[in-house]
Structure 1
């Protein structure tokens, strides 16, 4: 069982952020922060962010910070203050591929930072989104610990007698109107 607590005490009014503490049984908690830095932010934003991180760092816990920082990491215009901030708090940036892709540009502006990067099993940036930003995702090593299964069953459908033309004909005659009207993806899949 996973216990989480919203940490309002770590959030600042002038930084768009949400902090959550993830509590594990007999293990050190993780502080997970989601941050948004507006693109028109000035250097003062980094100073405010540093103040917030100071309060987070005092907790002496593993820190993972995800979000849209609107700082292009592949450019030469990375503020020196930002690089210094990462060093002060011993934060490693995990993402290495573009996260905002348009027809004319491809930039890495959505970051994942950790003060214990060895605990990140892997990261991914799935190539789909409802905006022009791809999501950034991680898998933490603590999430990999699971009970051993005694048996594992694999079920599959035989394609020995599969007729592709019959299948295409059958699919083309189905009505999808009801499927397209459902908002919930799980219900849509069941209906389909």
Structure 2
């Protein structure tokens, strides 16, 4: 059976079917997958045990992940098309019939896919499933969970109310609102699809399968592309490059902004390189200042060549795969004088006027305490707000003696698609490492 090509690098066609015996129906299932060009397939009611080899129920061009009960009932499985990278060891819930796999259709996008089968209409069984839901928020990923939950979404009941309330609290929406199983006496919606990205899910369809009394559900999912970005004021990049390399290994970024690099034209790129990253830099000299941006090598980039002579700022456009371009900047405001800040603000104004970019991420050491009211703080807040930028950092970023200041800032015009900023201490700087994850939308 030929593997169907994906519609794009970031769109996945996913499907679920309750099959009530996978091994005896594998031939018919192969035809369904080929006809509907499915890339991720969740199967509930597999009725497999350890005596059934993967080879007996394989789909050509797919990886198989399964959690069996026995041949009398139950069991779940996930088929993931080969071109999708699997990012983790499959997670099998210990006390319910559920399996999870993290799928990556491209290097910057991931989707946590799950399949569930709830065999019993009782509160104990539902509570075990809901416990798994509660763990999803901690993972911070796009989620797609499909399965037979044996709870009719079209009929009000205590269990339906419970699962609806709990999933809503966990940020999940249930997408299926029509019957998924039709018998002579009733039509019920017991096969569900839950996700935390409903706006990126489309075309939920219902198709009869001759070998099941449940309908085949399909949905197109446009995965989010997430860019993990970080900033650190370092006070001499060259002498701390080994420590920076260790930090990048521990906290995998796609974008790293460095202020106060202390570099000059005598320092070669290879002396401060990070493996797998492109380096963009604007030097002052070896006694202070300077900014740099490291961008992961598999991301398309374009540096903005124009640089203001008296403004330590660098801008690079990053375009990961199918997403909209993101304009990333790094800035260092060398002193707390009005003229220095004015040059930075003028550069920000020009960028918003002269470019057609709508998505901006600017990081740096601005040397203006966001936690203390001052004329300079008021000025930068007024101008950035006029330009549609929000400042995301609200906690101290530098501690010296008894003083704690918020002088490292992150500005963006898409704050609703930026995660909370995390603050991490590093031994080689008195500034904190700031990290933020930016969700970009596919073009």
TM-score bracket, shorter-length normalisation: 0.5 to 0.7
The CA deviation at 1:31 is: 0.4
User: Given that residues 21 and 29 in structure 1 are in contact (C-alpha distance below 8 angstroms), is that contact kept between their aligned partners in structure 2?
Assistant: yes
Structure number with higher strand proportion? 2
Change (3 A) 1:86 1:55: closer
Q: 2:162 aligns with which of 81, 92, 97?
A: 81
SS across alignment from 1:29 = strand
Deviations 1:28-79 (A, max 9, x none): 31101000000x3421222221221233321100011100001001112152
Unaligned regions of 5+ residues in structure 1, if any?
A: 147-192
Counting only pairs closer than 5 Å after superposition, residues 1-192 of structure 1 correspond to structure 2 as: 1-5=83-87, 7-9=89-91, 11-38=92-119, 40-79=120-159, 80-142=161-223
SS across alignment from 2:211 = coil
Higher Cα Rg: structure 1 or 2? 2
User: Given that residues 28 and 61 in structure 1 are in contact (C-alpha distance below 8 angstroms), is that contact kept between their aligned partners in structure 2?
Assistant: no
SS across alignment from 2:216 = coil
TM-score by length of 1: 0.67
Change (3 A) 1:35 1:6: farther
Structure number with higher helix proportion? 1
Residue correspondences, number: 143
The CA deviation at 1:136 is: 1.3
Q: Which residue of 2 aligns with 1:169?
A: none
Q: Which residue of 2 aligns with 1:179?
A: none
Q: Which residue of 1 aligns with 2:331?
A: none
The CA deviation at 1:17 is: 1.3
Alpha-carbon distance in 1 for matches of 2:136, 2:194? 13
User: Given that residues 99 and 125 in structure 1 are in contact (C-alpha distance below 8 angstroms), is that contact kept between their aligned partners in structure 2?
Assistant: yes
User: Given that residues 118 and 126 in structure 2 are in contact (C-alpha distance below 8 angstroms), is that contact kept between their aligned partners in structure 1?
Assistant: no
SS across alignment from 1:53 = helix
* Cα-Cα RMSD: 2.2
State the 4+ residue runs in structure 1 displaced beyond 3 angstroms.
5-9
- RCO greater where, 1 or 2, for CA within 8 Å and sep 6 or more? 1
Deviations 1:69-112 (A, max 9, x none): 01001112152321221111111111121110112211110011
Deviations 1:160-179 (A, max 9, x none): xxxxxxxxxxxxxxxxxxxx
